Amino acid sequence: MRFGEYLHSSMIKEYHPFYIAYDELKKSLKTDYVTPPTPENTKPARREWTEDDEKAFVTLLETELEKVFNYQKRKSEEIVERIKESEAEVTDVISRLERATGNRRESVSFPPPTDDDFLLLEQTLSDIIADVHDLAKFTQLNYTGFQKIIKKHDKQTQWYLKPVFAARLNAKPFFKDNYDAFVVKLSKLYDLVRTKGNPVKGDSSAGGTQQNFVRQTTKYWVHRDNITELKLVILKHLPVLVFNASKEFEEKDTAISSIYYDNPDTWELYQGRLKKTEGAEAIRLRWYGGMESDQIFVERKTHREDWTGEKSVKARFSLKEKNVNAFLDGRMTVEQVFDKMRKEGKKSLEEINDLEQLAREIQYRVITRRLVPVTRTFYHRTAFQLPGDARVRISLDTELTMVREDNLDGRRRAGNNWRRMDIGVDFPFSQLPPEDIDRFPYAVLEVKLQTQAGQEPPQWIRDLTASHLVEAVPKFSKFIHGTATLFPTRINLLPFWYPQMDVDIRKPVSQHYGIRRPIASTSVSANDEEDSDDDDSPQTEQSHENGFANHLGDDSRLFTETNGNELDIEERIAAQPLPGDEDYPLYDSDDEYMYGSYFSDELEEARHIGGLYYANQLAKHYLKVTGSLLAAGFWAVIPRPRATEMPPPEQRGIQVLGPHQRSFKRFQAPPGKRIFVPVRVEPKVYFAAERTFLSWLEFSIILGGIAATLLNFGVDTVAIASSWAFTVLAAGALVYSLFLYIWRVDKIRKRRDVKRVYYEKWGPTIVSVGLVVVVLVNFGMRIHAGGFMAGKPGVPLPVPGNGTRHGEL
């Protein structure tokens, strides 16, 4: 859908006169025709863009900017006033409730509030929440509209207005209004009303008193257009977790910065966290708020496989900022770190011993493995949780940014310090060069649950995660993504979500889910004239649900039968059978062969080790490549039936349904890179491979027994030939199964996502066909030799002395 159509279909009736006049601005970009249109030439040339045209366009653009800015400012002030009024009303109702419950005499003159009073307050707050949602959508649409029209202007007229108009936008920054303060205030009021003056109380500190906490975590991406709506949806069920309620809200209070450590020669922590190997660790230093924060948390995250019966755990201890360098270098002992804690006596001796053991292990790993800072992550976190209750915790990380902290290329970013000091929490960090920073395009939603075995999460969470507001990305890691992005020349193994960064994650809007008023606002519709510019192409804009489904025809059921992540678009398409290729892999890097060369994990590891070991592995690598190329060339010249070539777009790929046609999408790793697809490996996988090998072995023994019987008791050439045939078949099956078992165990150990690990279609087929051939040949040879005629009426039995030995009767 083009932006003009999307703008009209998304307009709210109340806000309609104050939206950007996108159609009028677009028409003003078209000058008069040089000659009038004729039936032969319906689109004659237009005159060139002049300075007068530019002045007229800029004047109209300034008028539209002033209109949008003033209305957004007025509505924002109205919302602030309405929140203050509601706060006064809620305070009055709560005070009446406290007086009624605390003093029976006063309850006579001051009756307690009724359920209707709380219901009325909840409706009022819900209306304010809807206003905040509408204003955020209004702001987002208009900001996008100004960006679109400026881009269209510069492209059509060749008069570059973008740099100049950026200054005008900053002078009237209607799009920079921060709605987090609204969310925090509304969350507090809504929680008071929802609980009828009895909000849950408890420790609101980060993690409470726990040092080690275990959660089941699922992660999602959230498009920037849906961030405010998502926050407003969640606050109706969970309050915003405020660590210091007595302090006025500031944006830097939600800032979280983390610095991850790794060995840049081996990238062992990156590799371990990416492959999810048992016991893989991530070591980071984290602080909350600005750079002036003096409390630094030293954390270690350890991954545990499910089959071990343990859960992945995060453990941490706090350290003064001035002591970080000395602790990491080993100049400060663990005993010195916790000496003050022991003297204060606020923690038990057992807790202090556990923390000392954790600190000792982290310090040992940093020093012995030569770990250095490599990647910093920064984001603003909005946490939703009942204070003191960690059963359900939802966090939304916005403005996610990854920054390089290393000194690998000769630039002393951090120097000898544990972190660089030229940046703080001043997003978007415009002072940094592009190669030092990666601004993540989405927000990251984490849903953390502590539920008992077999217990389902709350229904509202299930509805939220299945809605159009989020896109599920299991096992997403800020550290892994940032490291892979910031070190493209050093990291060759990429996470599985990496190719999806170029895919628009927005989905058709679920009309039954989200922030809705009791009486829905009427959308304004209008016809947008034909526009062929690339920036308004369907790939770049959100498709309206009805129009999107109409374009799909019969295949629209793929998108409308279920919602969101219950089966999202990619999963629904992947579930459909593909023409002529049932075994199509989702990612190119599942194959061993890539871009004309073989990629080997062992070779990459050997390169880091170096020496004679690397030379031997390199020689084996080239020998393998040469043998494979020779075999491929020999197979190509052998005369044989050839398969019919299919057109390239439809030969191999995933069907992607576009608004006008069926196309094919295949995620492909960049040249020289490989995408790591996570593979779940449990002990039962090894046992299954062993059972399969034993089944092959049993089959081979049976065939060998048949061959031995024929060889020992057969006397004619038919029996001898059959025994040899069964012997060759049994030996071939035995050798094949042995090598297949060894190969499978090796691939399982390396967590390689190779299809033959889980099924094998050629081996059983060849053995079955060979068995059928041997039996039929044996049957035919026996008939030809006349062996089946013996013993029938009219056929004499062989007798001794007639060319047959006595024992053969």
Active site residues: 478
Beta bridge mates, 259: 285, 376
Residue 269 CB contacts under 8 Å (≥ 6 apart), including other chains: 260, 261, 262, 263, 280, 281, 282, 283, 371
**Residue 518 tokens, joined:** 């009791």
* 215, 207 Cβ separation under 8 angstroms: no
Query: Which region, left, alpha or beta, applies to residue 595 given φ > 0 means left and ψ of -120 to 50 means alpha?
Result: left
Please count the residues of the chain.
809
- For residue 129, give Cα distances in angstroms to 134, 233, 431: 9, 9, 36
What is the C-alpha to C-alpha distance for residues 307 and 303, in angstroms, rounded to an integer?
12
Q: Map 388-429 to HEC letters.
A: CCCCEEEEEEEEEEEEECCCCCCCCCCCCCCCCCCCCCCCCC
Name the residue among 241, 519, 525 with its Cα closest to residue 390: 241
At position 112, the amino acid (one-letter code) is P
* 188, 129 Cβ separation under 8 angstroms: no
The owner of tokens 């909000």 is 199
Residue 322 CB contacts under 8 Å (≥ 6 apart), including other chains: 294
Give me Rg for the CA atoms of the chain: 35
- Count of Cβ atoms closer than 10 Å to residue 748 Cβ: 19
Concatenate the DSSP letters of all residues of 273-320 into one string: HHHT-TT-EEEEEEEESSTT--EEEEEEEE---GGGT---EEEEEEEE
Residue 290 CB contacts under 8 Å (≥ 6 apart), including other chains: 252, 255, 424, 425
Beta bridge mates, 216: 449
Name the residue among 443, 396, 95, 461 with its Cα closest to residue 240: 396
Max CA separation in the chain (angstroms): 132
Name the residue among 312, 359, 321, 322 with its Cα closest to residue 338: 359
Give the 3-state secondary structure of residue 523: strand
* 308, 278 Cβ separation under 8 angstroms: yes
Name the residue among 795, 661, 688, 803 with its Cα closest to residue 745: 688
Peptide bond into 577 cis (omega under 30): no
With residue 326 as reference, give the H or E element that holds it. Answer: helix 324-329
Name the residue among 337, 271, 263 with its Cα closest to residue 298: 337
- For residue 361, give Cα distances in angstroms to 90, 259, 298, 330, 727: 51, 18, 12, 12, 59
